[in-house]
Structure formats: structure tokens, C-alpha cells
Amino acid sequence: MKEESVSIPCGELKLEGLLARPDGSTGAAVVCHPHPLYGGSMYNNVVEAMLKALWRCGYATLRFNFRGVGGSTGEHTGGVGEGDDAKAALRFILAQPGLGKAGAIMSGYSFGAAVAMRAGAEANEVETIAAVALPVGMGDFPQPTSNKKIVLIAGDRDGYCPGPKIAEVARHCGGRLKMIEGADHFFGGYEDILSDALVELLTA
């Protein structure tokens, strides 16, 4: 899928992103990357597996670098400013002609999944939140209790996202959970399985 380089305004900051629009797409999806302080960026194997799933479902996508990553200006803020980044990316993609008519998805992986859960819960335009390897083992955070569709994916060997804790999150927020047998937090070698799982959850 061809992606176009874009510059996303976020207050005084500029975020770099890649926008893709499959033929006939009317839905819009934002994909948030893993932790910036541990080498996370929009160029990530899990992010790319998620993009493939979203394209298969007919969604236009916008992946972007959080503030302070790559060509994005600003500095890492521990998650607060990154939520603003995700909302700015959502505004940007929804401003593209014809997009958003089939709904909007806020999605992310690891740190990006936590950002997506918060930002997606706060954005009225978001109908679906997709979180991969939500780091529930690292601490508690607010969980959406609205009527949004929430889909969760985790590996059963992920120490940052323990099965019992992510199952509890799914129950609390009414989300659908898919556990991938054999996968750890980084999904090395499980990218296609992850992509298939996300398609299954989004189309169910």
C-alpha cells in the first residue's frame, strides 16, 4: 500500500506521519507506536502488521511519530502530550475529503495502545479502539467504560501484558480479547497471525 508523507499540526508542534488511503476507503484509523524512550517509532513490525489488517478492512490509515521521535518536534512527556498527538492525528485524517464516514478507529501497540485507549475514550469521533499488547502489567490506568467497541490482542507469553490482567480489562470495558499462543510482547514471527486476529476482531 502506498503511503504519503504528511506533516500533522499539534499546537506549536509538527508531527511527521504516513497517510495511506486504499481505493474506496471511507473509514479512518490512527495507529500509535510503542514507547519512544525504548526505540519505538512508527517504523515497527507490529505497527506494520496492524496497518495491513486495517487496509484489508478498507480503512485509510495514519501512522505517525510521537513528539520528539524522528522528524516530529517537541519532547517526550510520559504519555500526556502523546495523547494530544494522537488526537491531532485523528483530526488530521478526519479532515481528509471523504474519510470518517464509515467510522474512526484509534489503535496502538504497547505504549501506543495505552495512549490509544485514553485518547480514543475521550474522542467522540472514535467508534472503535484497538489495543495490541496493552502494558497492563506496568500499572493501572483509566479504562473506557463507554459504548465504544474495544478490541484487545495479546501474546500469551507477554510479561508486560499478563493474560489474567488483560482478561480483567476486557471484562471491565466490555472488550473482545484475542490471545495469540506463543507470542511475546514483540510478536516476532507472529506478525501475520496478529494481522489476521485484528481483521477477525474488527469485522466481527
152: CB partners within 8 A, 6+ apart: 130, 131, 132, 134, 166, 169, 170, 175, 176, 177, 178
Question: In this structure, are residues 32 and 113 in contact, taking their beta carbons and an 8 Å threshold?
Answer: yes
Residue 129: what residue type? I
pLDDT (tens digit, 9 = 90+) per residue, 13-69? 999 999 999 999 999 999 999 999 999 999 999 999 999 999 999 999 999 999 999
Question: In this structure, are residues 89 and 112 in contact, taking their beta carbons and an 8 Å threshold?
Answer: no
Q: What DSSP string describes the chain?
A: --EEEEEEEETTEEEEEEEE--TT--EEEEEE-S-GGGT--SS-HHHHHHHHHHHHTTEEEEEEPPTTSTT--S---TTHHHHHHHHHHHHHHHTSTTTTTT-EEEEEETHHHHHHHHHHHH-TTEEEEEEES--GGG-------SS-EEEEEEETT-TTS-HHHHHHHHHHHT-EEEEETT--TT-TT-HHHHHHHHHHHHH-
Is 3-203 a domain of CATH 3.40.50.1820? Answer: yes
- pTM across the whole model: 0.97
For the chain, what is the radius of gyration of the CA atoms?
Answer: 15
78: CB partners within 8 A, 6+ apart: none
Q: Has residue 143 got a pLDDT over 70?
A: no
pLDDT (tens digit, 9 = 90+) per residue, 156-174? 999 999 999 999 999 988 9
pLDDT (tens digit, 9 = 90+) per residue, 99-139? 978 889 999 999 999 999 999 999 999 999 999 999 999 87
